Amino acid sequence: MYRNFGPQTGNKIFGFQKGKQGLNLFRMLLPTLIDFQEEFLSGQPVTKHYLHFSEVNCHDLDIWIGRICRTVSLEFLHEILFTILNELLVNGCKANAKRVFFKSKSLEITDPNDYQKGIPLFKQEFGQHRSAIFKSLETTNFNITVSAQNFPNYIEFKTTNNAKILDEEKIRINRRITASEKYKNINDAYLESVDSEESSGLGIVLIHILLRNSGIKNQFFELRTNDFETTIIVRIPKLLIPIEAQNKIRNLLVSEVDGLPPLAPQLQKLIL
């Protein structure tokens, strides 16, 4: 199993094996924190590429997210963002693997009848031989990417797999997004399986619950697709407290301070 990262050259995505040699290579190619921060703050997207994504890729994804959060002082969202991006990358990898699996069974994934025949087979195979299914992607042109880009008011994360989303898949995603609105937490969602035909559907539900409970509204989640790829966009506001609420808090603090004895000029500058 490869841990893949870094730039693409042609159809090749650089990666390395697990173990001491791979870890040393990872450290050599990992840019310094200062270089990473300068690139990210410049507004250029920083991107990671994978042939497939699984548990062995989690460590370098976690480091990457940690650097982004530290750069823009959103450390408290580190674990939440890791959970969200991990889920989206696995979903993208699974979507690619599904297409490879259907082709191996001589089934046309865009044909409704073949789709209904193939989904139970894929679900069973994925549950029992996930590693083998993911490894089959290494001999194909399928891949997934995750990128982050710094904007003045928000951070934009994108996960992309190079396959067009099917109408049936899009319907399922929208159904899960709608279902997420009625759940207060993931435990409520577990009690009511959202989609038992293809999967539990809890991944998309979890993402929306995490975003909502972090003060981020659903309009910051977007699905885009064309004939060649499918992209999920998650935008994280840098200010999770609306500016109006910040002004109210500020005015309240100022009014409370006015009733106190005079403060040193340096403290007044910090407050006002």
Structure confidence by residue, pLDDT tens digits, 7-47: 333 333 333 334 444 444 444 456 788 899 999 999 999 99
Structure confidence by residue, pLDDT tens digits, 157-195: 999 999 999 988 888 888 888 888 888 777 777 766 555
| Mean of pLDDT values over 145-159 | 96
CA 109, 110, 113: angle at the middle one, nearest 5?
A: 80
The tokens for 263 are: 């403060």
CB 50 within 8 A of CB 4: yes
Q: How many CB atoms lie within 10 A of CB 58?
A: 14
Structure confidence by residue, pLDDT tens digits, 234-264: 999 888 765 565 566 556 555 655 555 555 5
> CA 72, CA 70: separation in Å to the nearest integer?
6
* Coil/strand/helix, residue 233: strand
> CA 241, CA 85: separation in Å to the nearest integer?
23
Q: How many CB atoms lie within 10 A of CB 189?
A: 22
Measured CA to CA in angstroms, residue 269 lies from 170, 262, 266 at distances of 52, 13, 5
Structure confidence by residue, pLDDT tens digits, 82-129: 999 999 999 999 999 999 999 999 999 999 999 999 999 999 998 888
Q: DSSP H helical segments within 192-233, as ranges?
A: 202-213
